[in-house]
């Protein structure tokens, strides 16, 4: 059983937990430093990136989690989680920080505000197609040389990556947890299982 934490300070926690349970993983809600013990991987959910960043600092989770990421723990960030993993936030607030681990440049709300939310099919090559739910989603505008693009989307202004991987780190612009499709989470768990061998 894969022990996967879901950062549970703010955002789509319940939905990620349910998806992990459907896939046979053992999810753990992470609210305190002690909750990190023994995890095989972690999901940082969608929500509000500056609020999650503030709560990571005040809870004492920021530094231990930074160390675990730097040491190679598998982490999957969706929406706000992607922003928190990114090396560059192009339009962040003055007080905004990130773990600076996934070599991408992102623009917060790059696909528009809440009123501009949309859902489109996202093609993940021979893996299949998943529903892509974009809600105040970050746009990936640049990727480093070690980042693999698993899926892209053209929202009328050219292709932009929406699902990427760099080693043990995964980032997703959309919200796979808000649908019944488990493919994206399954890809992360498969990679996590490989890393545990």
Out of 15, 143, 172, 177, the active site residue is 177
Out of 79, 143, 160, 172, the active site residue is 79
Radius of gyration in angstroms for the set of CA atoms belonging to the chain, rounded to a whole number: 15
Question: 109: buried, middle or exposed (CB in 10 Å: 19+, 13-18, 0-12)?
Answer: middle
Range of the domain at 84: 3-196
pLDDT reported for residue 1:
63
- 3 state DSSP class of 61: coil
The CA–CA distances, whole Å, from 143 to 96, 105, 128, 169 equal 20, 7, 23, 13
Per-residue pLDDT 10s for the chain (197 aa) are: 689 999 999 999 999 999 999 999 999 999 999 999 999 999 999 989 999 999 999 999 999 999 999 999 999 999 999 999 999 999 878 888 999 999 999 998 888 777 878 999 999 999 999 999 999 899 999 999 999 999 999 988 889 999 999 999 999 999 999 999 999 999 999 998 887 77
CATH number of the domain that 172 lies in?
A: 3.40.50.880
pLDDT reported for residue 178:
94
CB-CB contact of 188 with 171 (8 Å): no
- 155 catalytic residue (yes or no): no
- Taking the model in full, what pTM does it have? 0.94
- Rounded CA gap, 56 and 26, in Å? 22
Number of structural domains found in the chain: 1
Out of 16, 153, 160, 175, the active site residue is 175
Region for residue 72 given its phi and psi (left: phi exceeds 0; alpha: psi -120 to 50; beta: otherwise): left
Q: For residue 147, what is the DSSP state?
A: P
The CA–CA distances, whole Å, from 87 to 60, 141, 160 equal 21, 12, 17
The CA–CA distances, whole Å, from 20 to 28, 95, 107, 187 equal 10, 32, 28, 12
- 172 catalytic residue (yes or no): no
pLDDT reported for residue 93:
80
């Amino acid at each position: 059983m894969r022990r996967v934490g879901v950062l549970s300070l703010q955002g789509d926690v319940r939905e990620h937990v349910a998806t992990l349970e459907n896939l046979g993983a053992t999810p753990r809600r992470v609210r305190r430093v002690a909750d990190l013990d023994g995890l095989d991987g972690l999901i940082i959910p969608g929500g509000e990136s500056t609020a999650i960043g503030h709560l990571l600092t005040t809870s004492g989770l920021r530094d231990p989690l930074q160390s675990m990421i730097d040491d190679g723990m598998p982490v999957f960030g969706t929406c706000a989680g992607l922003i928190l993993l990114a090396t560059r936030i192009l339009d962040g607030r003055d007080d905004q920080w990130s773990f600076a681990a996934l070599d991408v440049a992102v623009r917060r709300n790059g696909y528009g505000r809440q009123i501009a939310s949309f859902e489109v099919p996202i093609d993940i090559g021979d893996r299949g197609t998943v529903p892509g739910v974009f809600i105040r989603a970050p746009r990936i505008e640049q990727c480093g040389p070690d980042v693999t693009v698993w899926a892209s989307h053209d929202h009328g202004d050219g292709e932009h990556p929406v699902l990427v991987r760099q080693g043990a780190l995964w980032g997703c612009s959309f919200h796979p947890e808000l649908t019944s499709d488990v493919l994206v989470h399954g890809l992360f768990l498969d990679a996590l299982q490989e890393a545990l061998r």
